[in-house]
C-alpha cells in the first residue's frame, strides 16, 4: 500500500467520522429538553402549563432529523406543524413532510409556505408556542412570492439565475428576501402574539442567522440599496423573467431607499444557533490529530472566493505545511463555499470542480504525497449525485490512461463524470445535515 493510498483512506475516514460526530438529532436533543412541564430550549425555559398549542415548523436540508428529535422529546405535546425538506431521511410519525425543491423551488415549496402561514395566522395567541427548526437549503424549499403575479416558473428562473451567476449565498438571499412573503422575518410576523423559539443549523458565514434559509424568523437588515447593487453587479434585470422585473416588489426594492417590511425583533421570539461549519472543522481537526497523529492547520481565512483562487491557496498552504513539518503527517482543514459559476451543461458542483482543478495543479507541479478532498456536509454537490471528490498528483495520469481528459470536463462543468469514471466521486446521498462544505488536505 503506497503512502498516497494511506493518505486517501485517512482523508475519507476523517470526512465520514466528522459527519457522524455532527449528527443533527444528537445536537438538537442536547439543546431541547423537557424538565417536568418546562421546556428548556437553548438558554430559555418555557412553562408548558401556559401553552395550549405547540406548533413545529421545520425548514431545510436538516429539517427531518431536527423534527425527529423534537417529536422524540415533545411527543403528543405537539399539536400541529409541517416539515419541508429535499429528502426524507427515515420517517416522522407525527408531522407531515413535504418534499420541496432544491436548488429550485417546486409546487411543494409553495404548499409548505402556505400551510405554515395558515397555521401561524389561525393559531396566533399568547397560549401558542411555535418551534421553528431552520437549516440551510430552506430558501428554495420554502417560498411564497410577495407579489401574486410572480409564478412558480418565475421563481425557478430567479433561483437558477442566482445559483449560476457567481453570487455568494448572502447576495442570493438578499434578493430572495426582497421578493418573498415568508423570508426576512415575514414568516414569524404572521404570528406576532405567539411565543416563538427558532433553532438553527447554520450553513452561512459568521453565523449570520438572517441568511440561513433567508431568515424566515428574523427581521431583514438588508436595504433596497443592497438589492440594487446586487442586481446591477450581476446584471439580473436582464436575466430575471419579465414578470419579476415588472412586479411591484422588484420595482419598490429597485428604486426605494427603505428596508423591506420584515419587522423588528419581538421579545417573545428567541433564536439559538445549534451548529455551524466551524463545529465541523473542529471535529475534523480532532479526528485528524487523535486518530492519525496529524499536525493540523485550520484555514479560517479560506472560506469564500473564486474556486480557482481558493484551490491555489489551499495547495500552496499544504505544500508549505509539508515542508515545514517534513517527515510528519500534516493536515489543512477549511470550510465554507467556493464561488463556482456554471459554464457548461455537465454534472458537477463547487466541491468537485475544486478537486478537479487541484488534481490538474498537483499533476502539473508534481506535488507528491498530497491528497485533497472537498465535499458538502449535506451529501449533495451542485447538479450531481455526489457530495464531492478526492484526488492526488496521479489522478490526471490515471484519467489520461483511460481516455478521460480533465480540461474538457472542466470547460463543460462536468467534474462529476470525470471523478465517477475514476471511482473518486464521493457518493453518500443526502445526509440530513447542512453546515456547508468541508475541505481536507493531507500530506505525508
> What CATH number is given to the structural domain containing 329?
3.40.1480.10
* CA distance linking residue 2 with residue 76, whole number of Å: 56
Q: For residue 316, what are the contacts with CB-CB under 8 A and spacing of at least 6?
A: none
In a domain, 28, yes or no: no
* CA distance linking residue 434 with residue 153, whole number of Å: 26
User: pLDDT-derived band of residue 301, with 50, 70 and 90 as boundaries?
Assistant: very high
Q: For residue 116, what are the contacts with CB-CB under 8 A and spacing of at least 6?
A: 57, 82, 142, 182, 187
Whether 271 and 282 share a structural domain: no
Q: What phi-psi label fits residue 443: left (phi over 0), alpha (psi between -120 and 50 degrees) or beta? A: beta
pLDDT in tens, 102-117: 989 999 999 999 999 9
Whether 207 and 348 share a structural domain: no
Among 243, 275, 307, the domain-final residue is 275
Q: How many domains does the chain have?
A: 2
CB atoms within 10 A of CB 262: 24
Of all residues in the chain, the percent with pLDDT exceeding 90 is 85
Whether 40 and 146 share a structural domain: yes
Among 228, 253, 275, the domain-final residue is 275
On the question of pLDDT at 262 being above 90, the answer is: no
Average pLDDT of the chain is: 93
Whether 183 and 290 share a structural domain: no
pLDDT in tens, 230-250: 999 999 999 999 999 999 889
On the question of pLDDT at 223 being above 70, the answer is: yes
Whether 216 and 82 share a structural domain: yes
On the question of pLDDT at 100 being above 50, the answer is: yes
Whether 78 and 13 share a structural domain: no
User: pLDDT-derived band of residue 257, with 50, 70 and 90 as boundaries?
Assistant: very low
On the question of pLDDT at 229 being above 80, the answer is: yes
Whether 11 and 101 share a structural domain: no
Q: For residue 238, what are the contacts with CB-CB under 8 A and spacing of at least 6?
A: none
In a domain, 252, yes or no: yes
Whether 251 and 285 share a structural domain: no
Whether 210 and 292 share a structural domain: no
What CATH number is given to the structural domain containing 123? 3.40.50.10180
As a whole number, mean pLDDT of residues 366-389 equals 96
Q: What does the pLDDT read at residue 173? A: 87
Whether 286 and 316 share a structural domain: yes
In a domain, 30, yes or no: no
In a domain, 75, yes or no: yes
On the question of pLDDT at 365 being above 70, the answer is: yes
Q: What does the pLDDT read at residue 163? A: 84
On the question of pLDDT at 136 being above 50, the answer is: yes
In a domain, 282, yes or no: yes
User: pLDDT-derived band of residue 3, with 50, 70 and 90 as boundaries?
Assistant: confident
Closest by Cα among 56, 115, 112 to 85: 112
**Which region among 59-63, 66-70, 180-184, 209-213 has the lowest average model confidence (pLDDT)?**
209-213
On the question of pLDDT at 2 being above 80, the answer is: no
Whole domain around residue 183: which residue ranges?
36-275
In a domain, 286, yes or no: yes
Whether 233 and 96 share a structural domain: yes
In a domain, 25, yes or no: no
* CA distance linking residue 263 with residue 281, whole number of Å: 34
Among 275, 295, 325, the domain-final residue is 275
In a domain, 56, yes or no: yes
Whether 187 and 100 share a structural domain: yes
Please name the residue that has the C-alpha cell 415533545: 74
Amino acid at each position: 500500500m503506497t503512502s498516497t493510498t494511506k493518505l486517501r483512506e485517512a482523508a475519507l475516514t476523517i470526512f465520514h467520522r466528522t459527519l457522524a460526530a455532527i449528527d443533527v438529532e444528537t445536537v438538537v436533543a442536547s439543546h431541547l429538553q423537557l424538565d417536568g412541564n418546562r421546556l428548556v430550549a437553548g438558554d430559555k425555559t418555557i412553562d408548558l402549563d401556559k401553552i395550549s398549542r405547540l406548533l413545529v415548523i421545520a425548514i431545510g436540508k436538516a429539517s427531518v432529523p431536527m423534527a425527529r428529535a423534537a417529536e422524540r422529546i415533545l411527543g403528543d405535546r405537539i399539536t400541529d406543524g409541517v416539515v419541508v425538506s429535499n429528502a426524507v431521511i427515515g420517517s416522522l410519525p407525527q408531522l407531515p413532510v413535504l418534499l420541496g425543491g432544491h436548488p429550485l423551488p417546486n409546487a411543494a415549496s409553495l404548499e409548505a409556505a402556505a400551510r405554515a402561514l395558515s397555521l401561524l395566522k389561525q393559531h396566533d395567541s399568547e397560549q401558542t408556542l411555535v418551534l421553528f427548526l431552520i437549516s440551510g437549503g430552506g430558501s428554495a424549499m420554502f417560498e411564497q412570492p410577495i407579489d401574486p403575479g410572480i409564478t412558480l416558473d418565475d421563481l425557478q428562473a430567479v433561483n437558477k439565475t442566482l445559483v449560476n451567476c457567481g453570487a455568494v449565498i448572502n447576495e442570493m438571499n438578499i434578493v430572495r428576501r426582497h421578493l418573498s412573503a415568508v423570508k426576512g422575518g415575514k414568516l414569524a410576523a404572521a404570528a406576532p402574539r405567539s411565543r416563538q423559539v427558532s433553532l438553527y443549523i447554520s450553513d452561512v458565514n459568521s453565523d449570520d442567522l438572517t441568511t440561513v434559509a433567508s431568515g424566515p424568523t428574523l427581521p431583514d437588515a438588508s436595504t433596497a440599496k443592497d438589492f440594487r447593487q446586487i442586481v446591477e453587479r450581476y446584471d439580473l434585470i436582464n436575466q430575471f423573467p419579465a414578470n419579476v422585473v415588472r412586479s411591484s416588489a422588484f420595482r419598490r426594492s429597485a428604486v426605494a431607499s427603505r428596508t423591506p417590511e420584515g419587522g423588528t425583533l419581538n421579545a417573545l421570539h428567541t433564536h439559538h444557533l445549534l451548529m455551524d461549519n466551524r463545529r465541523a472543522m473542529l471535529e475534523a481537526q480532532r479526528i485528524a490529530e487523535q486518530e492519525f497523529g496529524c499536525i493540523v492547520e485550520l484555514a479560517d481565512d479560506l472560506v469564500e472566493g473564486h474556486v480557482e483562487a481558493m484551490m491555489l491557496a489551499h495547495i500552496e498552504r499544504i505544500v508549505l505545511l509539508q515542508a515545514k513539518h517534513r517527515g510528519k503527517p500534516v493536515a489543512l482543514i477549511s470550510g465554507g463555499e467556493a464561488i463556482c459559476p456554471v459554464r457548461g451543461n455537465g454534472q458537477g458542483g463547487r466541491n468537485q470542480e475544486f478537486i478537479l482543478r487541484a488534481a490538474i495543479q498537483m499533476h502539473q507541479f508534481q506535488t507528491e504525497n498530497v491528497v485533497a478532498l472537498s465535499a458538502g456536509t449535506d451529501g449533495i454537490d451542485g447538479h450531481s449525485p455526489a457530495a464531492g471528490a478526492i484526488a492526488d498528483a496521479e489522478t490526471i495520469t490515471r484519467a489520461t490512461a483511460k481516455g478521460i481528459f480533465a480540461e474538457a470536463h472542466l470547460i463543460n462543468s462536468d467534474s462529476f463524470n470525470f471523478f465517477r469514471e475514476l471511482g473518486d466521486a464521493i457518493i453518500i446521498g443526502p445526509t440530513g445535515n447542512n453546515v456547508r462544505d468541508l475541505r481536507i488536505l493531507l500530506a505525508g
